[in-house]
């Protein structure tokens, strides 16, 4: 079994604390390039900025497997300098505006710290406090002499933390996938040709993976991402039927979401592999959401795909929470799956 | 003038919610001890520091009390369900600033640890009909501290305090942002005042008060003022800084000076003296209209015993009662210096000059 020790935690921390808002993934790209170069047979940065990595397998034409994890995160772009350190911003990707007021933000390449303030409670009315403060009424405040440029990216300032069995970060989605891909490259099995796409612009429409998959032309692909766990209590004490996934229940295997119907052969294979290796896993509740599998599936003449995700709570907020054990089990399920893959996997009936 | 920033950062990095001020009180007491002649705690936990004046007859020596409340707003655990904490508020908290806010749970169960966590907003379908749209009320928000339900049950108890976990950060223009700058920035200013007074002669006794429970009931100000029975009393607190969401007459620009209260809580003669002193030492001040209440310790001090002449001076602070309050260090220094100059200006018979029109 591969383990999650200090070096793996340290790398994830570095990846999570980097700023990599969709369209400006340079910070994570630099970390990825540094990590993969010693282990890869081919490394390239494509036209959109994704990092594409190949590790050749044994034999003349081994099964070509693409693993994808996106490097980008949701965040903000500075759109207007109003002077005296106040900046108007727009949201990049899906962020609930209710997560923004009262938060520290980092801005630009220097990670200049700013805040999104709110009117003091003393000056609000009870009625006013029932309404959401909309993004266009907010400003990023960098202090009276604060400087930033229109076009600068910004994101939540919260730093990675390890707490008990959990990790907490602004960008577990999908740095945890990036970390898993790097670890798998370091332990790449010989039976397959392993292709890795560290893709850009997932959060704004699955853009990077689309062209990355075209380049690799894989036999099959797995999107390695992080999916929401909504396993919170029901306020009235009823059962929570719509948890999507649960923390501590292992990797979440997808069957259907709004962008893909996952290949049943791959779903079955992963579940059987988990049972055989006694790795805890769960099926993500079907429906909603989307991963890069949706973009990869429809490239060229079609690619059999499946998504596997590490669950996290509080998606696209200043602090998401995942369990280290789920990370470890996801890594090992994928590792065992890669080691045991053959062309026979795709020879079976589609359904 | 000494660099107050390290002390300020230290006192906004420890616990001290209303009613539970002991951790921050320890730091303040350490800092004040070498600056005063006597230091003690009140029955409710307020800190009383006395720097004696130079009038010889102790019995008749007049005294000025300067109050800065040291308590902070925050949250308190009200129930625990499946490892998640429900909370209620201590002091005024707008629930809209909470989702996604890092917090420190001061856990009193096994281990009595400080546990890092985050306030979270449950999905709408887990809340009663209509409660998940718009701003989610405090009663529906949860805190997740990253532990399994069993572990949470062992560590956390109902009634445990929860403080904001935002770390202090230095910003441009000589500013600091963080939580609880209301009112620890005033504590820092009063500390500067005491430092300044080391090299100044003053005939009046000076009582430095770090009061408890201002954010809930003014219990500290009522009781300490009663015990000390000063000749006059001054509350130093924060006022609204101009910034996002507050730009009308109630808010003042940060870094541009401090405010002198005008209204029923303030004795006009004290206001006049503060203004004269500020002009003389060239500290920029603005008048702040407080038509009914000052909403500071002054409202309590004024009504103590047979009544005490009081004054309020304030430091502008952006985003009050949020986890990202923002203050200019310059204004903190100005408040400290102005207080010291005011104290030094008090002549032995000043109280006899206090007159109504």
Does residue B94 sit within a domain?
yes
User: What phi, psi does B281 have (nearest 5°)?
Assistant: -100, 10
Q: Write the CATH number for A309.
A: 3.40.630.10
Question: Considering the domain boundaries, does residue B308 fall inside one?
Answer: yes
Residues A61 and A115 in one domain: no
- Overall domain count for chain B: 2
Give the SS3 label for residue B25: helix
- pLDDT tens track for B275-309: 999 999 999 999 999 999 999 999 999 999 999 99
CATH of the domain at B85: 2.40.30.40
Tokens for B74, please give them. Answer: 């925050």
Run of H or E residues at B150: helix B149-155
pLDDT at B59 over 80: no
Residue A351's pLDDT is 58
With contact defined as beta carbons under 8 Å apart, do A293 and A256 qualify? no
Option in B131, B146, B151 nearest A168 (CB): B146
Q: What gap in Å lies between CA A32 and CA A53, rounded to an integer?
A: 10
Does one domain contain both B154 and B261?
Answer: no
Residue B99 forms part of a structural domain: yes
Give the domain-ending residue among B164, B195, B226: B164
Q: Which of B84, B86, B118, B248 should we substitute to test contact with A (largest number of A Cβ atoms within 10 Å)?
A: B118
Residues A184 and A279 in one domain: yes
- The answer on B138 and B190 residing in a single domain is no
Q: How much is the pLDDT for B55?
A: 77
Tell me the whole-structure pTM to 2 decimals. 0.94
Final residue in a domain of this structure, among A123, A156, A189: A156
**Claim to verify: residue B184 and residue B256 sit in the same structural domain:** yes
In a domain, B155, yes or no: yes
One domain, residues A196 and A271: yes
- At B225-264, the pLDDT tens digits run 999 999 999 999 999 999 998 989 999 999 999 999 999 9
| A118 → closest Cβ in B100, B115, B319 | B319
Does A281 lie in the same domain as A336? yes
Do A80 and A204 fall into the same domain? no
Residues A151 and A187 in one domain: no
Q: Domain check: are A134 and A266 in the same one?
A: no
The residue count for chain A: 351
Average pLDDT for residues A54-69, to the nearest whole number? 96
Interchain CB distance below 8 Å, A117 and B131: no
Nearest Cα to A118, choosing from B319, B323, B138, B246?
A: B319
pLDDT tens track for B205-227:
999 999 999 999 999 999 999 99
Query: Among the three residues A107, A123, A156, which one is the final residue of a domain in this structure?
Result: A156
- Output the CA–CA distances (angstroms, integers) from residue A175 to A45, A302, A311, in the order listed: 18, 27, 13
Give the pLDDT confidence score for residue B2 in this predicted structure: 61
B132 and B196 within one domain: no
Closest chain A residue by Cα to residue B143: A232
Residue A162 lies in a domain: no
Q: Do A158 and B102 touch (CB under 8 A)?
A: yes
| A14, A151: one domain | no
pLDDT over 70 (residue A100): yes
Give the pLDDT of residue A348. 72
Contact A103 B324 (CB under 8 A): yes
pLDDT for position B313: 98
Domain that holds residue A143: 75-156
Average pLDDT over residues A23-32: 98
| Cis peptide preceding A34, ω within 30 of 0 | no
- Residue B111 confidence (pLDDT): 83
In A, which residues are within 8 Å of B102 by CB distance?
158, 318-319
Domain membership flag for residue B231? yes
Task: Give domain status of residue B170, yes or no.
Answer: no
A260 in the same domain as A316 = yes
Query: Is B171 contained in some domain?
Result: no
What would the pLDDT profile of B161-206 be if each residue is shown by its tens digit?
999 999 999 999 999 999 999 999 999 999 999 999 999 999 999 9
Instruction: Using the 3D structure, point to which of A156, A185, A203 is the last residue of a domain.
Output: A156
Q: Which of B18, B17, B42 is nearest to B29 (CA)?
A: B42
Q: Are residues B300 and B317 in the same domain?
A: yes
Does one domain contain both B187 and B42?
A: yes
Together in a domain, B138 and B193 = no
Average pLDDT, chain B: 95
- Residue that is written with structure tokens 């007074």 in the block: B197
- Strand duo B161-164 + A42-45: pairing: unpaired
Burial B309-332 (b: 16+ CB within 10 A, else e): bbbbbbbbbbbbbbbbbbbbbbbb
pLDDT, residue B61, reads 86
Nearest CB to B172; choose among A118, A120, A146: A146
Say what the pLDDT of residue B332 is. 98
The pLDDT-based confidence of B60 (bands split at 50, 70, 90) is confident
Same domain, B230 and B321: yes
Mean pLDDT of A312-341: 98
Query: Would you say residue A1 lies in a domain?
Result: no
- Count of domains observed in chain A: 2
Same domain, A122 and A139: yes
How many residues are listed for chain B in this entry?
357
Show the DSSP H helices in chain A as ranges.
Answer: 6-17, 26-36, 172-186, 207-216, 264-277, 293-297, 324-339, 344-347
Residues B221 and B101 in one domain: no
Beta bridge partners of A54: A42, A195
In the structure, what pLDDT confidence band is assigned to residue B90 with cuts at 50, 70 and 90?
very high
- Best residue in B136, B142, B171, B254 for a mutation probing chain A (most A CBs within 10 Å): B171
Q: Are residues A177 and A285 located together in one domain of the fold?
A: yes
Q: Are residues B21 and B141 in the same domain?
A: no
Contact call for residues B90 and B17 (beta carbons, < 8 A): yes
Residues B247 and B281 in one domain: yes
What is the pairing mode between strands A153-156 and B232-240?
unpaired
Q: Each residue of A179-232: pLDDT tens digit?
A: 999 999 999 999 999 999 999 999 999 999 999 999 999 999 999 999 999 999
Chain B residue with CA closest to A130: the answer is B135
Measured between alpha carbons, how far is residue A76 from residues A88, A151, A319 in Å?
A: 10, 9, 16
CATH of the domain at B44: 3.40.630.10
Tokens of B333: 């220094």
Task: Please check the confidence at residue B81 and state whether its pLDDT lies above 80.
Answer: yes
Q: Flag whether A165 is in a domain.
A: no
In this structure, are B211 and B243 located in the same domain?
Answer: yes
Catalytic residue among A73, A193, A202, A203: A202
Tell me whether residue A275 is one of the annotated catalytic residues. no
- Residue at A161 is within a domain: no
Q: Residues of A with CB below 8 A from B318's CB? A: 117, 141
- Averaged pLDDT score across all residues of chain A: 96
The answer to whether residue B354 scores a pLDDT higher than 80 is yes
B324 in any annotated domain: yes
Give the residue from chain B lying closest to A124, CA to CA: B94
On whether both A190 and A100 belong to a single domain, the answer is no
Please give the average per-residue pLDDT across A220-248, as a whole number.
97
Query: With pLDDT > 70 as the criterion, what percentage of chain B qualifies?
Result: 98
Closest Cβ–Cβ partner in B116, B123, B246 for A163: B116
- pLDDT category of residue A350 using cuts at 50, 70 and 90: low
ipTM at complex level: 0.93
Range of the domain at B327: 5-72+179-353
Whether A309 shows a pLDDT value over 90: the answer reads yes
Instruction: For residue B112, name the pLDDT band (cuts at 50, 70, 90).
Output: confident
* Confidence band, pLDDT 50/70/90 cuts, at residue B57: low
Q: Are B71 and B111 in contact (CB under 8 A)?
A: no
């Amino acid at each position: 079994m591969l383990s999650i020790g200090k070096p793996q935690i340290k790398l994830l921390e570095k990846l999570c604390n980097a700023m990599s808002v969709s369209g400006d993934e340079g910070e994570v790209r630099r970390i990825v390039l540094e990590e993969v170069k010693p282990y890869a047979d081919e490394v390239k940065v494509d036209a959109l900025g994704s990092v594409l990595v190949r590790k050749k397998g044994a034999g003349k034409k081994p099964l070509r497997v693409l693993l994808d994890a996106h490097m980008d995160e949701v965040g903000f772009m500075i759109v207007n300098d109003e002077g005296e350190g106040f900046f108007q911003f727009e949201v990049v990707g899906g962020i609930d505006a209710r997560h923004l007021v009262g938060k520290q933000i980092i801005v630009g390449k220097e990670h200049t710290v700013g805040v999104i303030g709110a009117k003091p409670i003393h000056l609000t009315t009870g009625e006013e406090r029932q309404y959401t403060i909309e993004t266009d009424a907010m400003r990023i405040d960098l202090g009276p002499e604060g400087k930033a440029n229109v076009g600068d990216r910004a994101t939540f300032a919260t730093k990675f933390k390890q707490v008990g069995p959990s990790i907490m970060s602004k960008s577990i989605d999908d740095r945890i996938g990036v970390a898993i891909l790097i670890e798998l490259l370091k332990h790449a099995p010989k039976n397959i040709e392993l292709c890795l796409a560290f893709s850009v612009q997932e959060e704004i429409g699955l853009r990077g993976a689309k062209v990355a998959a075209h380049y690799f032309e894989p036999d099959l692909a797995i999107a390695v991402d992080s999916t929401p766990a909504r396993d919170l209590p029901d306020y009235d004490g009823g059962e929570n039927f719509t948890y999507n996934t649960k923390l501590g229940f292992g990797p979440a295997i997808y069957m259907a979401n709004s962008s893909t119907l996952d290949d049943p052969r791959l779903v079955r294979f992963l579940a059987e592999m988990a049972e055989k290796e006694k790795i805890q896993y769960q099926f993500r509740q079907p429906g909603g959401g989307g991963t890069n599998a949706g973009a990869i599936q429809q490239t060229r003449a079609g690619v059999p795909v499946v998504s596997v995700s590490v669950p996290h709570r509080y998606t696209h907020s200043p602090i998401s929470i995942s369990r280290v054990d789920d990370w470890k089990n996801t890594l090992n399920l994928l590792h065992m799956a890669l080691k045991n893959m053959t062309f026979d996997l795709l020879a079976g009936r589609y359904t | 003038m000494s660099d107050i920033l390290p002390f300020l950062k230290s006192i906004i990095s420890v616990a001290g919610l209303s009613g539970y001020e002991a951790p921050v009180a320890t730091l303040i007491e350490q800092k004040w001890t070498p600056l005063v002649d006597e230091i003690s705690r009140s029955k409710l936990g307020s800190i009383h520091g006395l720097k004696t004046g130079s009038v010889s007859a102790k019995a008749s020596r007049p005294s000025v009390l300067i109050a800065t409340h040291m308590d902070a707003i925050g949250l308190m655990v009200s129930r625990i369900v499946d490892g998640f904490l429900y909370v209620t508020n201590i002091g005024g908290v707008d629930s809209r600033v909470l989702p996604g806010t890092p917090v420190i749970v001061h856990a009193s169960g096994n281990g009595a640890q400080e546990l890092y966590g985050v306030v979270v907003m449950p999905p709408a379908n887990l809340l009663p009909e209509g409660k998940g749209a718009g701003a989610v009320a405090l009663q529906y928000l949860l805190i997740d501290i990253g532990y399994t339900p069993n572990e949470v049950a062992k560590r956390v108890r109902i009634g445990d305090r929860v403080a904001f976990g935002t770390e202090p950060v230095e910003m441009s223009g000589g500013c600091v942002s963080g939580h609880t700058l209301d009112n620890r920035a005033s504590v820092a200013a009063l500390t500067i005042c005491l430092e300044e007074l080391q090299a100044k002669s003053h005939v009046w006794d000076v009582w430095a008060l770090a009061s408890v429970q201002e954010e809930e009931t003014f219990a500290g100000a009522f009781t300490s003022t009663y015990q000390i029975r000063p000749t006059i009393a001054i509350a130093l607190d924060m006022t609204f800084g101009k910034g996002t969401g507050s730009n009308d007459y109630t808010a003042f620009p940060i870094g541009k000076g401090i405010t002198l209260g005008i209204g029923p809580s303030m004795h006009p003669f004290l206001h006049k003296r503060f203004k004269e002193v500020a002009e003389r030492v060239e500290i920029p001040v603005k008048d702040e209209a407080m038509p009914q209440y000052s909403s500071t310790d002054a409202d309590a001090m004024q009504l103590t015993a047979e009544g005490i002449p009081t004054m309020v001076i304030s430091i502008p602070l952006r985003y009050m009662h949020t986890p990202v309050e923002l203050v200019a260090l310059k204004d903190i220094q100005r408040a400290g210096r102005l207080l010291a100059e005011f104290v030094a200006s008090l002549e032995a018979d000043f109280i006899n000059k206090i007159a109504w029109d």
